[in-house]
Amino acid sequence: MAPESSVIETIAYFSASTTSWSEDELTHLLQVCRANNLSADVSGFLIYVDGSFLQWLEGPPIAVNRIFEKISLDRRHTRVSPIFKGRLGVRHFTKWSMAFIPKEDISAEVSSEIADIRALRHGGGFLTDAPRLARRVTDNFLRINRF
């Protein structure tokens, strides 16, 4: 990754997959994401659990917003819901263009928090707790996986 800019844009979103993903399909998706993110100086993580994606993107504001716009238009998922957006002074995933943890390796704590976000989103209400939950998921993800 290139040297960090002083302004790091962060977007976390939750979405529902329009289809089930095989391990091979997820592997291919990750290869494409990692290549695209590396060339754009974007880092982050992707979690896929029970037909839902949770992704954290961080990097230069223009690049992160461009990638998120492309993701929002991707027909492989629907109900793309930003749950955290902000500018941070530091990256959390400095060594990863796209970290990924398979479902079977996700801790019970992180799975529970993803379920909380899914419940908020499916409830149809405003996701007032989602930014806090997204930060908790990220903090737990970092703590447990030591990225």
Question: Each residue of 39-86: pLDDT tens digit?
Answer: 999 998 888 877 888 888 999 999 999 999 999 999 998 888 888 888
So what's the pLDDT on residue 16?
85
Q: Among residues of the chain, what percentage have pLDDT more than 90?
A: 26
Structural contact between residues 69 and 116, judged by C-beta atoms closer than 8 angstroms: no
Tokens of 5: 């800019």
Fold of 8-145: Alpha-Beta Plaits (3.30.70)
> Distance between CA 96 and CA 92 in Å, rounded?
9
**Tens digit of each residue's pLDDT (9 = 90 or more) over 98-111:** 777 666 666 666 67
pLDDT digits (tens, 9 = 90+) for 128-139: 555 566 666 666
Structural domain boundaries of the chain?
A: 8-145
* pLDDT classification of 31: cutoffs 50, 70, 90: very high
Query: From CA 10, how far away is CA 90, in angstroms rounded?
Result: 10
Mean pLDDT of 12-22: 87
Higher-confidence residue of 125 and 27: namely 27
